[in-house]
Amino acid sequence: MILPVLVLDAGNSFTHAAVFSGDAVIDIRSLPTRSLENSGEVRKLVDGILNDHPDLCHAAICSVVPSAGVLFHQVLGSVLPGSLIDISSSLKLPFSLDYNPPSSLGADRIAFCSYCAGYSSENPVIAIDIGTAITMDVLVPDEGYFGGLIMPGLDMMSAALHDRTARLPRVEVSGPVPLLGRSTEDCMESGIFWGGVKQVEGLLAEIRHVIIEKKGRQRVNVVATGGGSRIIIPALKEPILIDEQAVLKGGKVLLDLNVEEAG
C-alpha cells in the first residue's frame, strides 16, 4: 500500500503544501508565508491536510524562511506517525555538491536541483527559479553541481526603485508590457519586465557558452519554476519548460532518498 506523503515549500512570498501518492500530486494548497506567523495558523493548515488525508505518513520541509521552518517542524513533529526531514545539504542528494559552504545553499535550490538531476541523464540542465529572487543553477551529468547565480526578482526590482527614490511609486508587474511607456508607472513596469527578460535571456546564452567551452556539451536543457516564470519565460525567444511544482517534486525525490519506504 502506498501511503501519501507531504512536501512543504515555504518561500519568501508563498508557502505551498503538496500531498503525493507515489509520484503524483493529489492535493496542493498555497497561501502567503506571512500568514503563517504562529503555530496556530500552521496547525490550522496541517489539520486541514490531515483531515483530508488521515493516512499521511512522512513529510519533508523545504523552507527558506527559518521561522516558518521551525513552526512546521514543531507542528508536524507532534502529529506525524512517520519521519520528518528538513531539506538541506546534509541529506543524501541525487547529485554531488561542490558549494562553499554546502550548508549555505538554500533548501529550495537543493530541492530544485534534486528534481533536475533526474530530468536528463545525458545533458546539462540549467535550473531557473524566478521568484522573490531569480536563481540559476547548473548540473552536469556524472559531475554534479557546476555553479549558479542569484539576482533580484521582479518584485525586488520594483521595491528597490520605490524604496531608494523619493518619488517613484511601487508598481506590480503581472504580465508582458510594451517596451516603451508613456507614464512613470508604465516606464517602470517596462524597465522591470524587459530588464528581467533580457537578463534571463542573456545569462542563459552566456551559461550555455561556458558549458560548451568548458564541458564540450552542445545540448543543454533548461527547466524553469517559480511564480515569475509564467511572466518572464513566455517572453523569451526560445521555448523553455515551466514546471511550477519542481521544488515540491524535488522535495519528494529527497524524501524517497532519505526515508525508508517513503511514498
- Whose cell is 546539462? That residue is 124
Phi-psi region of 133 (alpha: psi -120 to 50; beta: other; left: phi over 0): beta
Q: Given CA atoms 30, 174, 232, 165 in this order, what sign does their dihedral have?
A: negative
By CB neighbour count within 10 A (0-12 exposed, 13-18 middle, 19+ buried), where does 239 fall?
Answer: exposed
Cβ-count burial 79-89 (b if 16+ within 10 Å, e if not): ebebbbbebbb
The sheet with strand 14-21 has its strands ordered as 24-32, 14-21, 5-10, 59-63, 84-86
Of 27, 52, 98, 108, the active-site residue reads 108
CA distance 193 to 162: 15
Whether 69 and 260 have beta carbons less than 8 Å apart is answered as no
Give catalytic status of residue 98 as yes or no: no
Question: Looking at this protein, which amino acid is placed at residue 218?
Answer: Q
CA distance 48 to 27: 11
Catalytic residues: 108
